[in-house]
């Protein structure tokens, strides 16, 4: 759905200098490059903002996000003639403070991102590593199954999984996590295949290292760069897809202050309260944009082959 | 070429088979009794039994799947719970709406996306380049269900230029030929209907086109930039050809190959995006239908719809592969 859908080239961390000049570790090199990358820094700034909102929601939010008030229904934002400072971004049809709901919404979206990305990262990495390392039948079975998951438009598969599991935020996170597993599996498999042929792996094997040690301690750490990029972009699509599911009533349920669910509620109000639609959507847009920007920047910084 | 096409078509068979297995087993994700979930707790034992029978839940798993597959092979997806209509009939009625919407969205995405990409590449680092690339980044991050609502507020509620939702005004009638309203009204020379249909499709199609448009713009730009750096372009410029001829006649043709692949892939992705767009604009297509089946817990219809959309999706991807091989013979070797 997002930039994550575009193909990511396999890559590896920048090789250290020859060791003759003063050499810096590949990680430091990459971080220095990242700091010079404007897109990445803008992305990072946006994400930091949302992280602060998520972490300090109870202190930042002026009101309880689910507290209803009949007296302050559909109040417009403060800059409107009828707006008040008490509700800076206005209120919804239950009199709930929009700003507070948006701030708490950051918390939910970050959790959704962490949980769904963890699911796809964990299973995708293991599946991809096994497929790449053992090859043959195992590879075939795992990758054919991944192809199968890719045979569905991702949002459709997520909708259908939630339809059968039952609508809830937890099930939405599971569905989104499962849907993205193939992206990670393909990436890791490709990287493992590339690394496996290299001398250091064969040397470790000759020294008697067990398979699990080879995979997790030798090969995977060297496949990290593309995985970090994919994970960052994965956050973007997870947040977007979760908001979509909640918008359709298949994710977070009312009165949870989730941005997508808030949009669904605001949809009935578009003739009367534009603010109830506008602000939650902007939050979704900016958080997704933040992760996409950082992901793009990371790709440039971590993959020297893509740099000119 | 022919053997490549045949191989690609044959490769589709195991995929569709796999999809059917996955779709079939999804019903077993339902916690508890699917029949009870569908009909509610107060359903009579008789009704529950009927639904279980219809879903085949009363038989052993392999028998259930065998039945599912044999019915599938005959093009029978069962009946929808809500309407008791054949699922295939219901889908057939709504499919043209989704096709029309997707085509219209693709026209927006390709023309605007490619234009932005070409102009950005030929004016690299200009204000236009920067702003269109920022816009395309925003575009790929766009929650289209929100964009749709914002467009509605601006163009329907405030300006009153475009209809709020639906596919056609109530008083307009179109003689169905293909089911694509714009095409049908053209064929029957029904001008008021044509205007009405076009007016209705603009907002949903534009909404649906955002993400593909952004991706197409980015790919076109980077592909054009790569081609423009090559020697033959420099030669063409050195010969004294005008920039317009060099850009559009020499460069564009070679820059198009990756763009076409992306366009093809986006067509499949539109099918997913259509679910959201159709919901917002009450567009009577397959996405809205599927979602209503989800809301009604009509598992039979959900399975049928999913099966069909996924099959369409992989078929489109296969056609893209073939088209790609036809345009770019180099890949056939590998």
A vs B, Cβ pairs < 8 A, gives 142
Are the CB atoms for B65 and B72 separated by under 8 Å?
A: no
Q: Looking at the complex, report in whole angstroms how far the Cα of residue A205 sits from the nearest Cα belonging to chain B.
A: 32
**Per-residue pLDDT band at B83 (split at 50, 70, 90):** confident
The beta-carbon neighbor of B313 closest among A145, A153, A267 is A153
C-alpha to C-alpha distances, B111 to A264, B209, B220, B231, nearest whole angstrom? 32, 11, 11, 28
Partner A, chain B 171-190, Cβ-Cβ below 8 Å = none
DSSP state of B155: I
**Token digits of residue B60:** 């052993």
Per-residue pLDDT band at B331 (split at 50, 70, 90): low
Residue A280 lies in a domain: yes
Q: What local confidence, expressed as pLDDT, does residue A23 receive?
A: 67
Contact A235, A51 (CB under 8 A): no
Q: Which residue(s) pair with B86 in the sheet?
A: B79
**Whole-angstrom Cα distance, residue B218 to residue B210?**
12
pLDDT along chain A (308 residues), means of 10: 42 48 71 82 92 88 79 78 78 81 91 94 93 89 88 87 89 94 91 85 84 84 85 93 92 88 86 86 94 88 60
How close does chain A come to B65, measured CA to CA in Å? 18
Q: How many domains does chain A have?
A: 1
pLDDT digits (tens, 9 = 90+) for A158-203: 998 998 888 899 999 999 999 999 999 998 998 888 888 888 888 8
Q: Is residue A72 part of a domain?
A: no
* Cβ-Cβ contacts under 8 Å for A183 (sequence gap 6 or more): A4, A120, A124, A230, A234
Average pLDDT value for chain B: 84
End-to-end CA distance of chain B: 13
Structural domain boundaries of chain B? 87-333
Residue A182 and residue A164: Cα distance in Å, rounded? 21
Cβ contacts of B23 within 8 Å, gap of 6 or more = A160, B303, B306, B307, B310
Mean pLDDT of chain A: 83
Interchain contact, A277 vs B215, CB within 8 Å: no
B313·A147 Cβ contact <8 A = no
- Give the CATH superfamily of B87-333: MetI-like (1.10.3720.10)
Q: Is residue A14 part of a domain?
A: no
Q: Which residues have a Cβ under 8 Å from the Cβ of A251 and sit 6 or more positions away?
A: A162, A167, A168, A169, A172, A242, A243, A245, A258, A260, A261
Closest partner residue to A281 (CB to CB) among B15, B146, B297 is: B146
H/E stretch holding A225 = helix A224-247
Nearest-CA distance from A245 to chain B in Å?
9
| B282 shares contact with chain A (CB less than 8 Å) | no
Q: Is B279 on the interface with A (CB under 8 A)?
A: yes
A33: in domain? no
CA atoms within 13 A on the CB side of B64: 18
CATH number of the domain that residue A285 is part of: 1.10.3720.10
Q: What is the pLDDT of residues B189-223, one digit of tens each?
A: 888 888 888 899 999 999 999 999 999 998 888 88
Q: What is the pLDDT of residue A169?
A: 92
Mutate to test the interface with B, among A150, A156, A287 (most CBs of B within 10 A): A156
Residue ranges making up the domain that contains A138? 43-61+90-302
Mutate to test the interface with B, among A140, A143, A146, A152 (most CBs of B within 10 A): A152
User: Do A284 and B291 count as a contact with CB atoms less than 8 A apart?
Assistant: no
In a domain, A271, yes or no: yes
**Beta-bridge mates of residue A91:** A97
Interface membership of B281 toward A (CB under 8 Å): no
> Looking at the partner chain, which of B27, B140, B313 has a beta carbon nearest the beta carbon of A292?
B140
């Amino acid at each position: 759905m997002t930039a994550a859908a575009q193909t990511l080239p396999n890559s590896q961390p920048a090789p250290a200098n020859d060791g003759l000049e003063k050499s810096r570790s590949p990680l430091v090199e990459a971080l220095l490059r990242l700091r010079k990358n404007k897109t990445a820094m803008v992305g990072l700034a946006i994400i930091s903002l949302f992280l602060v909102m998520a972490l300090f929601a109870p202190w930042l939010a002026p009101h309880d996000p689910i507290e209803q008030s009949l007296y302050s229904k559909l109040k417009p934002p403060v800059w409107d003639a009828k707006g008040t400072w008490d509700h800076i971004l206005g209120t919804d049809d239950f009199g709930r403070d929009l700003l507070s709901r948006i701030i708490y919404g950051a918390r939910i979206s970050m959790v959704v991102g962490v949980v769904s990305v963890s699911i796809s990262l964990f299973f995708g990495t293991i599946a991809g590593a096994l497929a790449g390392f053992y090859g043959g039948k195992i590879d075939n079975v795992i990758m054919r199954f991944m192809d199968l998951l890719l045979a569905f438009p991702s949002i459709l598969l997520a909708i259908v999984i939630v339809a059968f599991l039952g609508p809830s935020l937890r099930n939405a996170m599971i569905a989104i996590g499962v849907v993205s597993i193939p992206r990670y599996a393909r990436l890791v498999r490709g990287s493992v295949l590339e690394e496996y042929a290299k001398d250091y792996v064969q040397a470790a094997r000759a020294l008697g290292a067990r398979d699990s040690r080879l995979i997790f301690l030798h090969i995977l750490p060297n496949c990290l760069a593309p995985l970090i990029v994919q994970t960052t972009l994965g956050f973007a699509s997870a947040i977007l897809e979760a908001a979509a599911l909640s918008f359709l009533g298949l994710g977070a349920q009312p009165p949870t202050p989730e941005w997508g669910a808030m949009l669904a509620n605001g949809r009935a109000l578009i003739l009367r309260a534009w603010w109830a639609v506008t602000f939650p959507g902007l939050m979704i847009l900016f958080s997704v944009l933040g992760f996409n920007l950082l992901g793009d920047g990371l790709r440039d910084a971590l993959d020297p082959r893509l740099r000119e | 070429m022919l053997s490549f096409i045949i191989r690609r078509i044959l490769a589709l068979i195991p995929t569709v088979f796999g999809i059917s297995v996955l779709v079939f087993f999804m019903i077993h994700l339902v916690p508890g009794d699917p029949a009870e979930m569908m009909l509610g707790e107060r359903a009579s034992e008789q009704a529950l039994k009927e639904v279980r029978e219809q879903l085949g839940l009363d038989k052993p798993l392999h028998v259930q799947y065998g039945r599912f597959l044999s019915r599938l092979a005959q093009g029978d997806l069962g009946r929808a719970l809500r309407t008791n209509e054949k699922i295939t009939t219901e889908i057939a009625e709504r499919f043209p709406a989704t096709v029309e919407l997707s085509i219209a969205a693709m026209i927006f995405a390709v023309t605007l996306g490619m234009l932005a990409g070409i102009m950005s590449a030929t004016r690299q680092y200009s204000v236009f380049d920067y702003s269109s690339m920022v816009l395309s980044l925003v575009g790929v991050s766009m929650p289209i269900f929100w964009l749709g609502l914002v467009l509605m507020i601006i163009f329907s509620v405030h300006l009153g230029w475009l209809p709020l939702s639906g596919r056609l005004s109530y008083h307009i009638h179109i003689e169905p030929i293909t089911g694509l309203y714009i095409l049908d009204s053209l064929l029957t020379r029904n001008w008021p209907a044509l205007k009405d249909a076009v007016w209705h499709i603009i907002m949903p199609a534009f909404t649906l086109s955002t993400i593909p448009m952004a991706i197409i713009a980015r790919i076109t730009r980077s592909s054009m930039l790569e081609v423009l750096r090559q020697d033959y372009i420099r030669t063409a410029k050195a010969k004294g050809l005008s920039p317009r001829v060099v850009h559009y006649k020499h460069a564009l043709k070679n820059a198009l190959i990756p763009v076409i692949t992306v366009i093809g892939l986006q067509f499949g992705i539109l099918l997913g995006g259509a679910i959201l767009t159709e919901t917002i604009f009450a567009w009577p297509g397959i996405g809205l239908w599927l979602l209503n089946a989800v809301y009604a817990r009509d598992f039979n219809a959900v399975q049928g719809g999913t099966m069909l959309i996924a099959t369409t999706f992989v078929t489109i991807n296969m056609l893209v592969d073939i088209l790609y091989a036809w345009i770019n013979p180099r890949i056939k070797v590998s």
